[in-house]
A = this chain, B = another copy of it.
């Protein structure tokens, strides 16, 4: 059966509107600052999507655009300004940064409470120890969906992704919910057979529709974090949704699943420290 994310999305929208209103009232951390270097198509498209999400919850967005040839110092100074500005609640810098930049130095320059992409060692360390509140948006979306699908206590969860933006933080968050968590990846053997044994499987490889009905165990919930394109250029996920939907107890679609919550959850990170 298809898992419908719209109730989660509606709830998130309502909650976020209230938080933005409260932050505006208090004049604390209500604005988002976006830093963009150059005019890459992907960046502009992401920027427009974020602006639209922000607008839907009444949030103001400021965008600082730098030339492709800008110096690291210019960008660092702008980060510093954003750090000090009490009205700025989050700073988002589009990646990848130009090659002449020390990306890690720039990421770490953002103060942890405004680091909504969860790039700072401190925020990532907190996730590792189980005290994390600031979470990478995709992992946070997958967790929210997993929790909505059913109680996670004692459940067996398989995650096919070991990155710092999906697999690792999600594993730590799921452990905190008392799930038994397996991290798999490209070197994991016989995934179709392995996956069958799990109550919940999270896929995030970015290969189009490789997960077929053969992978699905009885009563299994599937969360698709994949972003891929098929041979016709159509957006798909890791899961062959049409084939899997009748066999899985619940499965998210792409588009319309995990990705429907990520931009809102990114904005929500602005308030985890303040509200």
User: Which chain B residues lie closer than 8 Å to A183 at the CB level?
Assistant: 171, 175, 180-182
Q: Which residue of B lies closest to A169 (CB)?
A: B128
Bound together, the chains give a CA A125 to CA B126 distance in angstroms of: 9
Given contacts A121-B125, A125-B125, A128-B124, contact A180 B185 (CB under 8 A): yes
The proximity string for A residues 182-200 relative to B, scoring 1 for CB distances below 8 Å and 0 otherwise, is: 1111011100001001000
The proximity string for A residues 59-92 relative to B, scoring 1 for CB distances below 8 Å and 0 otherwise, is: 0000000000000000000000000000000000
Q: Is the CB of A187 within 8 A of B181?
A: no
Query: Cβ of A162 < 8 Å from any Cβ of B?
Result: yes
State the oligomeric state as a number of copies.
2
Q: Is the CB of A182 within 8 A of B181?
A: yes
Query: Cβ of A129 < 8 Å from any Cβ of B?
Result: yes
Most buried by B among A122, A127, A153, A185: A185
Query: Cβ of A164 < 8 Å from any Cβ of B?
Result: yes
Q: Is the CB of B187 within 8 A of A154?
A: yes
Q: Is the CB of A188 within 8 A of B129?
A: no
Given contacts A121-B122, A154-B189, A189-B180, contact A129 B164 (CB under 8 A): yes
Query: Cβ of A274 < 8 Å from any Cβ of B?
Result: no
Sampled A-B contacts (27; CB under 8 Å): A121-B121, A121-B125, A122-B125, A124-B125, A124-B128, A124-B129, A128-B164, A128-B168, A153-B187, A154-B187, A154-B188, A154-B189, A156-B194, A162-B175, A168-B172, A171-B171, A175-B185, A178-B185, A178-B187, A180-B182, A180-B185, A180-B187, A180-B188, A181-B182, A181-B183, A182-B182, A197-B197
Listed from nearest, the 3 A-B pairs whose CB atoms lie closest are A178-B187, A125-B125, A182-B182
